[in-house]
Amino acid sequence: MKAILLAAGKGSRISKNIPPIPKCTLDVGGQPLVLRTIKMLEKRGISCAVVTGYRHENIDEVLKDTNVTIYYNPFYDITNSIGSLYFAKDFIDPNQDLLLGNADVFWTDDILDEILAAKEQVVMLSDRTRADDGDYFFGTENGIIRRYGKELKRDQRDCEYVGIAKIKKSFVPTFVTQLEYMVSHQQHGVWWENVLYSLTSEYDIHSLDVNHKFWAEVDFIEDYERILDYVKTNNI
């Protein structure tokens, strides 16, 4: 299995509360968040790549003693994460399952084990306890994503998207073809997840609920503080 972590963005919402560094290099329990995630993945034999952009030298320094493949998106300020993923597309192997994730997400070993065990050809992690006040939402039917967006009305949504997805190798060629199609048609201002969203009318894209487990995406300083409290409380 391979994993690609997207780490090119600036993180404007939290930038006034932290030093001018990538969010994924914030310290979590004595090590940078992105390094913690990579160690968790590599412990299970997963080969990792990271796509950098904003302050890429900080991430380069964090990862200098690892086996991680690093890709640089020089257009990080004018493209969204689909552009970053495009720079790493040569890392994708059609003969291996693929994990994709945003590098500023803190998630736990038990969440990783749960998504690895999922049988569906595409799963995106979600949390039903965050449907009221989350950031990006899904509306699902029998576990299949039917609606998605930041502005979904409350009666149209039932969970918040976590920021992690797994694609089985049988679906990887379809995913890569759609990624290349969208970028070649200048759709480089959207998230990497939009590749999957654009396929929901043709294929079943599943939502995997992890509401009983801890996770947090570092968008605001309060998110980071939640992570620090969790790590301290659980001594990890």
CA–CA distances in Å: residue 96 to residues 47, 49, 205: 10, 14, 18
| Mean pLDDT computed over 78-100 | 98
Does residue 15 carry a pLDDT above 90?
A: no
| Mean pLDDT computed over 132-154 | 97
Cβ atoms of 171 and 193 within 8 Å: the answer is no
The model's pTM: 0.97
pLDDT score recorded for residue 186: 97
For residue 128, name the pLDDT band (cuts at 50, 70, 90): very high
For residue 162, name the pLDDT band (cuts at 50, 70, 90): very high
3-state secondary structure of 124: strand
pLDDT score recorded for residue 130: 95
pLDDT score recorded for residue 139: 98
| Mean pLDDT computed over 144-171 | 98
| Mean pLDDT computed over 151-175 | 98
Does residue 12 carry a pLDDT above 80?
A: no
How far apart CA 84 and CA 67 sit, in angstroms, is 20
pLDDT score recorded for residue 14: 87
For residue 17, name the pLDDT band (cuts at 50, 70, 90): confident
Does residue 161 carry a pLDDT above 80?
A: yes
Average pLDDT, the chain: 97
What domains lie within the chain, and their CATH numbers? 2-234 (3.90.550.10)
How far apart CA 136 and CA 149 sit, in angstroms, is 6
How far apart CA 119 and CA 57 sit, in angstroms, is 38
